[in-house]
Amino acid sequence: MAGVRRISLVDQLVATIQQELITGQYAAGTPFIEEEVKKRYEVSRSTTREALARLEEDGYLTRDPATRTLRFRTPAADEIEQVYFARRFYEGAGINNAKHASPQQLEAIRESSQQLVAVLEDGKPLEVVEAEWRCHTAIVECIGSPLITAQYRQLLRRLSLALAQIESPQEDAAAGQDHMSIAKLILAKQYRDAKKLLFDHLASGEKELLAQAS
């Protein structure tokens, strides 16, 4: 039971810090010192250490190469461009393979787009981003490779914080409609149109993030 309790505390601490980062309670470059985090959130050293490791792995914190100190980070312009280049590769391949997808994979595309629209009504920024990730991941899963899907999920983690910081109701509504339309086109086997809409959607997101990073 002690192990279960400790893992639960780690999850809670990670979620708390994520939410504080997203809502602007920390400036870019803020250091996250283990002892200071431990005292601030009144948790054990092991919980603090594991939570910080998770935040680093997911791209919320980066380790300063000179001091080895963990700091709050947001993606730089060149990183955003590289991630979106890779996203077009992965997601384009997913649509190319959709013609061979199983009924379960196609249903995941449909369900994830519907879930995104539902979350948009009252979801928090991070919840909206995670729901959108499920839509894109469902497309990549049509490739049929668990390894590629895992690589893609790791790629998305690099952008989750930056995207959550620019969420707005108007943009969310447009994004929800895009995903519903992409899903319908894939299910209707209109793969070329689906890929065009997908790439337009990705280009819009990349442009907005690059504007924020500049």
pLDDT computed for residue 27 by the predictor: 77
Structure-token pair, residue 136: 């894109």
SS3 of residue 72 by DSSP: strand
What local confidence, expressed as pLDDT, does residue 164 receive? 60
Question: How many angstroms separate the CA atoms of 9 and 176, rounded?
Answer: 33
How far apart are the C-alpha atoms of 13 and 155, rounded to whole Å? 23
Closest by Cα among 18, 9, 14, 70 to 43: 9
Domain 77-213 bears CATH identifier 3.55.50.30: no
φ/ψ bin of 24: left (φ > 0), alpha (ψ from -120 to 50), beta (otherwise):
left
Task: Give the pTM.
Answer: 0.75
Task: Enumerate residues 6+ apart whose C-beta is below 8 A from 199.
Answer: 88, 92
CB 62 within 8 Å of CB 70: yes
Residue carrying structure tokens 């390894």: 147
Q: Tell me how far apart the alpha carbons of residues 25 and 43 are, in angstroms, rounded to a whole number.
A: 20
Half-sphere exposure of 35 (CA within 13 A, CB side): 0
Q: pLDDT tens, position by position, for the chain (214 residues)? A: 344 444 579 999 998 998 788 766 887 788 999 999 999 999 999 999 999 999 988 778 888 888 889 988 777 788 889 989 999 999 999 999 999 999 999 999 999 999 998 888 776 766 787 888 899 999 999 999 999 999 998 888 777 666 666 555 455 667 788 999 999 999 999 999 999 999 999 998 888 888 877 6
Q: Supply angle C-alpha 112, 125, 163, rounded to 5.
A: 85
Domain with residues 9-72, CATH architecture = Orthogonal Bundle (1.10)
Residues contacting residue 28 through CB under 8 Å, at least 6 positions apart: 72, 73, 74
- Placement of tokens 């312009």 in the chain: 77
Q: Where are the domains of the chain?
A: 9-72, 77-213
DSSP annotation of 26? S
Which residues are registered as beta bridge partners of 70? 63
* Gap between the Cα atoms of 182 and 191, Å rounded: 9
> In which residue are the tokens 């992409």 written?
182
- Euclidean distance between CA atoms 165 and 185, whole angstroms: 30
DSSP code, position 121: T
Q: What is the pLDDT of residue 152?
A: 93
